[in-house]
Chain A
Amino acid sequence: DGGITQSPKYLFRKEGQNVTLSCEQNLNHDAMYWYRQDPGQGLRLIYYSQIVNDFQKGDIAEGYSVSREKKESFPLTVTSAQKNPTAFYLCASSTQGSGSQNEQFFGPGTRLTVL
């Protein structure tokens, strides 16, 4: 089955802790994205990567970090500098470039709660 997996489904963080959310895709997509979704709000872009070993900040990157060492994987670390991390985190991927559809596909999400 082709798709995007995220783990864990639920994550609890204590104050001052860093936590890492996993995102893996087997769609052979070049581009990957991390979004944050808060209740009653739309999706906000945290980070995105258009190619391996390269990534760019989105609209709300402060307090987050990412890496893109493999095409299939785009983990997100929520650092202690992120003051309000409780949210639903969604990973997505898409093809990239003018010769492709650039259709975006999403994983099932990780719900992060600060204790």
Chain B
Amino acid sequence: KQEVTQIPAALSVPEGENLVLNCSFTDSAIYNLQWFRQDPGKGLTSLLLIQSSQREQTSGRLNASLDKSSGRSTLYIAASQPGDSATYLCAVKGDNYGQNFVFGPGTRLSVLP
């Protein structure tokens, strides 16, 4: 059974720092991996989607990488801002039809002004 973990559970950094969030998964037979952002009391917002055949995806200050063989993904946030404060979750989808998304517990990020 697929298990997804995220390290660290919480992170506090000063504004302007570059930072890395980590996501690990136990079964490398995935279809894709998706990174989300969740603000308190809100739904999840999709940030980046990496297909299993891809190594990385970029959107603005965000860069996500995928190493399927080692079961790892990282989300790199450049020049962090207070508005980046949120919980970041990763989710993987199995590559067999009907397999669903498995979510990690999230990393709670605080960017201090």
Contact = CB atoms under 8 A, between A and B. Distances in A.
B18 interface: no
Contact-size category for B:
20 to 34
A42 interface: yes
Query: Which DSSP category, helix, strand, loop or mixed, fits chain A's interface?
Result: strand
Interface in A20-36: 33, 35
A103 B41 CA distance: 22
B31 A104 contact: no
B109 interface: no
A90 B93 contact: no
B25 interface: no
A108 interface: yes
A88 to B, nearest CB: 8
Nearest to A3: B43
A104 B43 contact: no
Interface stretch (B62-70, B73-81, B99-107): B99-107
Contact of B42 (A43, A50, A109): A109
Contacts of B100: 33, 45, 48, 58
B46 A103 contact: yes
A111 B41 contact: yes
Given A103-B46, A109-B41, 15 more contacts: A33-B100, A33-B101, A41-B105, A42-B103, A45-B101, A48-B100, A50-B98, A88-B41, A90-B43, A98-B31, A102-B32, A103-B32, A106-B36, A106-B43, A107-B43
Interface of A: 4, 6, 33, 35, 40-43, 45, 48, 50, 56, 58, 88, 90, 92, 97-98, 101-109, 111
Ordered nearest first, which 4 A-B pairs have the shortest CB separation? A106-B43, A106-B44, A42-B105, A43-B103
